[in-house]
């Protein structure tokens, strides 16, 4: 059974249809790339799956159980964690406190939540920044902090919204290694990303959306050569 | 300093004033400061920790005051019990207000609390069967309390002083406990970023409604004490916007999300208010306002927050 099943998902904002009859699955243990031109509806899909927006129509099942209508915190507790495209750390709190708050999700005792937070921060390579204020981190570090915070909620599925945007090539490389490590630890990942080299390298499968509709779904090598995908990104020849 | 000696020091500080002076003006000033401490601390639970700026806390104050007065005048229930019930009624009133107003965020939340407070004030003004309308409610005699042949002298300030001292300490203790609890951590997360707080599994609505209830409870107790102490309430005395705003000022000037802040805010604002009133018969509020602006400009973390920072930076 797929971990996440999205069926016929539709979202209207007034007269604008941002997501239109979108269906896709995410299998356990895979990295699923979700790509499309700017404004294609990728972030809206994330907001629908994580409960920040309510779908106009369609079904979203996590391991066979519907999560439609649940508030975001309840969906997190069911096992879907996310990061934000524009980072949203708790800026005035320390790195340790940022992640401890997330560890409280399944661990009520502060001491154990803090231990868990320290372990997760080590996994993402922020073990030297425990007592820094989140606001004082570089963008790359803040993106790692967000991933750590999401991991500390012990998710089954992790939704990463452009974790590599704005990073330098070395940081992008490190982020790829991190995402592959997360998959190896048994967490499935859906990745929205514009850094094509990265997404081609680490995705098991890619779903392409354009104007809120799915236009391709398959392994990376096949998807990039799909004429529909090329047309969506580059436009069609007029003459 | 150990816990025990700190407790003893607090106890001495609390017991001392009525033993040192029987000057009614000084005791009245101390009672006023402690009442404002209680109210500032109550507001601070929600405003300081969760960053939810309410301009409508006079609602809970007035509800507490009226509950105490009405239960005593119409039901004969001693006002010190009425005070606790007043806090509980304020909690009940806070629940629907929370569920409505917490749908909004930031300035919109603040404005909605202001609107609700005005509605409640107008209801109190016009529901004459319950509140006696603009005429207000007056307690002429307080119940006799005696033990071993002695009776409590309600004309002295001492019994009121001890009552409000206990309430103010309770509110500070609650603040301290909240700052150590998981809920306190959740509130800081909500203050920092509400979406991010939801995304890590925090039920933000539940956390805010719970905190509002706690804040309303202490504010309602303060209202009940006000009724008992002044023996008179009317809608303009216990439901004005100015009261809500003063609570905000005390927490902000003292230091948001701190235990000590509201005491310092209450001391400063009460004494400075009195001082300006004495010096400048006309327009004393202008100087009061100027003082507020200076504090907010130069000590954005409040007096206690600024002092703590300076202490941490000392060479």
Phi, psi of A143 (to 5 degrees): -65, -40
Residue A84, in any domain of the structure: no
Report the alpha-carbon distance of residue A174 to residue A164 in Å, rounded: 10
Strand partners of residue A17: A12
Contacts of A99 (CB under 8 A, 6+ apart): A117, A120, A121, A145, A148, A149, A152
Q: Quote the domain boundaries for residue B120.
A: 23-141+155-240
Tally the domains of chain A: 2
Looking at the fold, whether A163 and A227 belong to one and the same domain comes out as yes
Query: φ and ψ at A151, to 5 degrees?
Result: -65, -30
Residues in a beta bridge with A218: A206
Flag whether A16 is in a domain.
yes
ipTM entry: 0.91
Residues of A in contact with B197 (CB under 8 A): 73, 90, 101
- Residue A102 sits in the same domain as residue A51: no
Report CB contact under 8 Å: B199, A150.
Answer: yes
Residue A27 domain flag:
yes
Three-state secondary-structure class, residue A16: strand
Domain boundary among A154, A180, A200: A154
**Given phi > 0 = left and psi -120 to 50 = alpha, else beta, which region is B150?**
beta
Q: Which of A126, A154, A182 is the last residue of a domain?
A: A154
Looking at the structure, tell me whether residues A9 and A24 fall in a common domain: yes
* Residue written as token pair 């001292």: B165
Q: State which H helix or E strand residue A114 sits in.
A: helix A110-123
Query: Cβ neighbours of residue B53 under 8 Å, at least 6 residues apart?
Result: B47, B109, B110, B248
* In-domain check, residue B199: yes
Q: For residue B304, what are the β-bridge partners?
A: none
Residue B132 region by backbone torsions, left for phi larger than 0, else alpha for psi between -120 and 50, else beta: left
* Tens digits of pLDDT across chain B (315 residues): 577 787 788 888 777 877 787 788 888 989 999 999 999 999 999 999 999 999 999 999 999 999 999 999 999 898 999 999 999 999 999 999 999 999 899 899 999 999 999 999 999 999 998 999 889 999 888 888 877 777 778 888 888 999 999 999 999 999 999 999 999 999 999 999 999 999 999 999 999 999 999 999 999 999 999 999 999 999 999 999 989 999 999 999 999 999 999 999 999 888 888 888 788 777 777 877 888 888 888 888 888 888 888 888 877
Between β-strands A188-192 and A157-161, what pairing exists: parallel, antiparallel or unpaired?
A: parallel
A153 chain-B contacts, CB cut-off 8 A = 200-201
Q: Is the CB of residue B204 less than 8 Å away from at least one CB of chain A?
A: yes
Q: Which domain holds residue A100?
A: 89-154
Which of B234, B240, B230 has the alpha carbon at shortest distance from B126?
Answer: B234
Is some CB atom of chain A closer than 8 A to the CB atom of B182? yes
Q: Which of B194, B199, B204, B312 to mutate to test the interface with A (most CBs of A within 10 A)?
A: B199
B272, burial (CB in 10 Å: exposed 0-12, middle 13-18, buried 19+): middle
């Amino acid at each position: 059974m797929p971990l996440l099943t999205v069926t016929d998902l539709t979202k209207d904002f007034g007269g604008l249809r941002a997501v239109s009859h979108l269906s896709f699955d995410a299998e356990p243990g895979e990295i699923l790339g979700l790509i499309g031109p700017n404004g294609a509806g990728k972030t809206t899909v994330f907001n629908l799956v994580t409960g920040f927006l309510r779908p106009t129509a369609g079904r979203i099942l996590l391991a066979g159980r519907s999560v439609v209508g649940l508030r975001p915190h309840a969906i997190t507790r069911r096992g879907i964690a996310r990061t934000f495209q524009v980072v949203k750390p708790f800026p005035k709190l320390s790195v340790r406190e940022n992640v401890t708050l997330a560890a409280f999700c399944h661990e009520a005792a502060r001491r154990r939540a803090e231990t868990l937070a320290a372990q997760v921060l080590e996994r993402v390579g922020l073990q030297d920044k425990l007592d820094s204020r989140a606001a004082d981190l570089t963008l790359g570090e803040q993106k790692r902090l967000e991933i750590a915070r999401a991991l500390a909620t012990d998710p089954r599925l992790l939704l990463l919204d452009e974790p590599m945007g704005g990073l330098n090539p070395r940081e992008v490389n490190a982020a790829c290694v991190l995402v592959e490590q997360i998959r190896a630890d048994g967490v499935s990942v859906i990745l929205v990303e514009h850094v094509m080299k990265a997404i081609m390298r680490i995705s098991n499968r890619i779903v392409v959306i354009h104007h809120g509709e799915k236009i391709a779904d398959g392994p990376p090598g096949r998807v990039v050569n799909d004429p529909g995908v090329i047309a969506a990104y580059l436009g069609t020849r007029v003459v | 300093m150990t816990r025990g000696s700190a407790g003893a020091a607090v106890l001495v500080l609390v017991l001392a004033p009525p033993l040192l002076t029987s000057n009614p003006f000084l005791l009245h000033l101390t009672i006023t400061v402690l009442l404002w401490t209680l109210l500032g601390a109550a507001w601070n639970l929600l405003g300081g920790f969760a960053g939810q700026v309410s301009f409508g806390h006079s609602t809970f104050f007035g509800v507490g005051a009226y509950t105490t007065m009405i239960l005593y005048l119409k039901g004969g229930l001693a006002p010190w019990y009425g005070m606790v019930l007043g806090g509980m009624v304020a909690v009940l009133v806070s629940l629907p207000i929370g569920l409505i107003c917490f749908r909004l965020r930031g300035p919109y939340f603040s404005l909605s609390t202001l609107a609700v407070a005005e509605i409640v004030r107008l209801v109190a003004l016009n529901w004459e069967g319950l509140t006696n309308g603009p005429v207000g409610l007056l307690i002429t005699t307080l119940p006799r309390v005696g033990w071993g042949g002695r009776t409590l002298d309600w004309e002295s300030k001492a019994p009121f002083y001890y009552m409000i001292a206990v309430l103010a300490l309770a509110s500070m203790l609650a603040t301290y406990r909240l700052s150590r609890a998981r809920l306190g951590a959740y509130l800081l997360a909500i203050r920092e970023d509400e979406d991010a707080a939801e995304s890590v599994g925090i039920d933000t609505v539940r956390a805010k409604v719970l905190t509002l209830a706690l804040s309303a409870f202490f504010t309602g107790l303060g209202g009940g004490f006000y009724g008992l102490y002044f023996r008179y309430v009317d809608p303009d005395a216990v439901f004005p916007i100015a009261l809500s705003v003063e609570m905000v000022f005390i927490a902000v000037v003292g230091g948001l999300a701190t235990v000590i802040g509201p005491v310092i805010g209450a001391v400063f604002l009460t004494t400075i208010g009195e001082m300006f009133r004495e010096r400048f018969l006309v327009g004393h509020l202008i100087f009061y306002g100027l003082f507020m602006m200076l504090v907010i400009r130069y000590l954005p973390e409040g007096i206690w927050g600024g002092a703590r920072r300076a202490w941490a930076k000392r060479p």
